[in-house]
Amino acid sequence: MLPFEHHYATLPAPLWIASEPTPVAEPSLIAFNRPLAKELGASDVPDDATLAQWLSGNTPMPGAEPKALGYAGHQFGNFVPQLGDGRALLLGEVIDQQGKRRDIQLKGSGRTPFSRGGDGRSPLGPVLREYLVSEFMAAVGIPTTRALAAVASGERVVRQMSEPGAVFTRVASSHVRVGTFQFAAARQDEVALKALADHVIARHYPEAANAEDPYLALLEAVVARQAVLIARWMSVGFIHGVMNTDNCSIAGETIDYGPCAFMEQFDPQKVYSSIDQGRRYAFANQPAIAQWNLARFAETLLPLMREEGDALVEQATDAIRHFEPLFSAEQRRLRADKLGLAMESAQADALMEALQSHMYQGRMDMTATFDALTHCAASPSDASREALLALTSQPEVLAEWLDTWQTEAVAATDTARLDAMRRANPIIIPRNHRVQEVIDAAYKGDFAPFHALLSVVTKPYDESTEARRLAAPASDNEQVLRTFCGT
């Protein structure tokens, strides 16, 4: 079905170890992303039963050569020199219709040499969450891994309780992480480190190869991509939940959707992850954590860079310092779009910071606020204004902000700017209570709610009645305050 290649296998051990999936009891296909399969160049897609066998790991997919990838990582600030794919296998790489190389990986396919005593399986809930959230992120244009398939295993997985199991098929630009570089560096294996860096340059940053110092250029390019990525996360209220260095993609994609969630009632210190007791990865902390992760990446590259001594450290430090202005520039651009301002507006930051203060003090839902603001810009009227003011517990204060905003906001006749505003403000996000409803139904064998939610979160600007129903914020008794990793 897919014309696999295996370029990563040219890198030295222990960056990868050949490993086979563990068959499951009774695989059945939950979802298969046919548009993505076509984008990847799939031909002769078989029937669902065959797909279930292939994408569960029960039957080898033609041309696949499964391997578990090694990596290390700082987990909540604590360094672990060996982690690796404990429940995932890279099947191979394909060249997609745009000529880009992309990885195909199984998650939940059984034990590997990196499993560290785990069972290598995944519960159904995290598989459905990653499918929904990653496909939403792709739909709003945020760099992300993609969901190709979800397969029920017909087996139980024990975590906090016994749950149905599943296997997820993920597509990524690559699965190289900051932790992959840390894995080679911790072994003081400069041969593997250089081979990995050269591989990443050739695959993701070919322009760096011609720089005076290719490895400094690599660092600068990764910093730039991460700065843009985190700004885009923040613009839609995404909270990753586990921003460990092993979950930080060198390709600049969102990867490893564990206990992730989207901001609902606005709170800069919001944490949903049940394992983030110290709030290390709270919403507002994400830019600083990304920069910290990049500093760990820079440390691994020092042996490869041309400068020496203090000059080397200063050079790397300067590259990391560039994160903040790059992040701020992208954030300012996104803020202008979200507020319906001209790109050159000097008021974007001040207006956004004031609105965020009002959202926090007034207990406002983030997505609903910007959706209502978009309607105010597109159809200025007392009704659209009142709809926005109805979202806050402090309407008098927000009304003053609205008066100031309206002097700067785009005119209702400027269709290009209104289109940009709508694209920056999705109507629907995968709300936590809706995702939980999907999971609860699936645990009872009903996947219709999953497919219904998937159909609307992949069309996040749709004004349909069903989209509006599923876009509604949670009531007090529907609130989901904690999400779980599922590993």
Each of the 487 residues of the chain gets a pLDDT tens digit; together they read 899 999 999 999 999 999 999 999 999 999 999 999 999 999 889 999 999 999 999 999 999 999 999 999 999 999 999 999 999 999 999 999 999 999 999 999 999 999 998 999 999 999 999 999 999 999 999 999 999 999 999 999 998 899 999 999 999 999 999 999 999 999 999 999 999 999 999 999 999 999 999 999 999 999 999 999 999 999 999 999 999 999 999 999 999 998 999 999 999 999 998 889 899 999 999 999 999 999 999 999 999 999 999 999 999 999 999 999 999 999 999 999 999 998 888 899 999 999 999 999 999 999 999 999 999 999 999 999 999 999 999 999 999 999 999 998 988 789 999 999 999 999 999 999 999 999 999 999 999 999 999 999 999 999 999 999 999 999 887 887 667 666 5
213 is a catalytic site residue: no
* pTM, to two decimals: 0.96
Set 85, 103, 119, 246: catalytic member: 246
Q: State the pLDDT at residue 343.
A: 84
For 105, other C-beta atoms within 10 Å of its C-beta total 22
Q: State the pLDDT at residue 486.
A: 60
Q: 3-class SS at 438?
A: helix
Hunting for tokens 């990753």 — which residue is that?
A: 240
For 210, other C-beta atoms within 10 Å of its C-beta total 9
Q: 3-class SS at 340?
A: coil
- DSSP, res 475: P
Query: CA–CA separation, 394 vs 190, rounded Å?
Result: 59
The sign of the dihedral angle between the CA atoms of 294, 298, 299, 300 is: positive
Compute CA 198 distance to the chain's CA centroid, rounded to the nearest angstrom: 25
473 CB-near residues (< 8 Å, 6+ apart):
264, 265, 365, 367, 368, 431
Query: Residue 3 half-sphere exposure, CB side, CA atoms within 13 Å?
Result: 10
Q: Give backbone dihedrals phi and psi of 32, rounded to 5 degrees, phi first.
A: -135, 125
Q: Give backbone dihedrals phi and psi of 40, rounded to 5 degrees, phi first.
A: -80, -5
Q: State the pLDDT at residue 88.
A: 98
- Nearest CA among 22, 27, 20, 24 for reference residue 48: 27
